[in-house]
Amino acid sequence: MFTVIGERINTTLKKVKAAVTERDADYIAEDVKRQEACGATYIDVNAGARIGHEEEDMKWLLSVIQGATKLPLCLDSPDPAILEMAYGLVEQTPLINSISLEKDRFDPMMQYLKGKECRIIALCMDDSGMPKSVDDIFDRAKSLVAELEGIGFKRDDIFIDPLIQPMSVAAENGNMAMDAVEKIMTELEGVHTTGGLSNISYGLPQRKMVNRIFLAMMMARGYDSAIMDPLDKEIMAVLKTADMLKGADNFCMNYLKAVRAGDIVA
CA dihedral 232, 9, 214, 250 (to 10 degrees): -70
Query: Is there a domain that residue 7 lies in?
Result: yes
Query: Where are the strands (E) in 113-244, listed by range?
Result: 119-123, 158-161, 192-193, 225-228
| Predicted local confidence at residue 28, as pLDDT | 98
Half-sphere exposure of 235 (CA within 13 A, CB side): 25
Instruction: Determine, yes or no, domain membership for 135.
Output: yes
Distance, CA of 164 to CA of 153 (rounded, Å) = 24
Same domain, 163 and 42: no
Q: What is the pLDDT of residue 1?
A: 85
Confidence of residue 110 (pLDDT cuts 50, 70, 90): very high
CA 85 to mean position of chain CA atoms: 21
Residue 243 forms part of a structural domain: no
Determine the structural domain holding residue 167 and report its residue range: 93-231
pLDDT in tens, 29-78: 999 999 999 999 999 999 999 999 999 999 999 999 999 999 999 999 99
Both 113 and 1 in a single domain?
A: no
What is the three-class DSSP state of 261?
A: coil
Q: In the predicted model, what is the mean pLDDT of residues 200-206?
A: 98
Write down the pTM of the prediction: 0.96
* pLDDT level of residue 239 (50, 70, 90 thresholds): very high
pLDDT of residue 266 exceeding 90, the answer is no
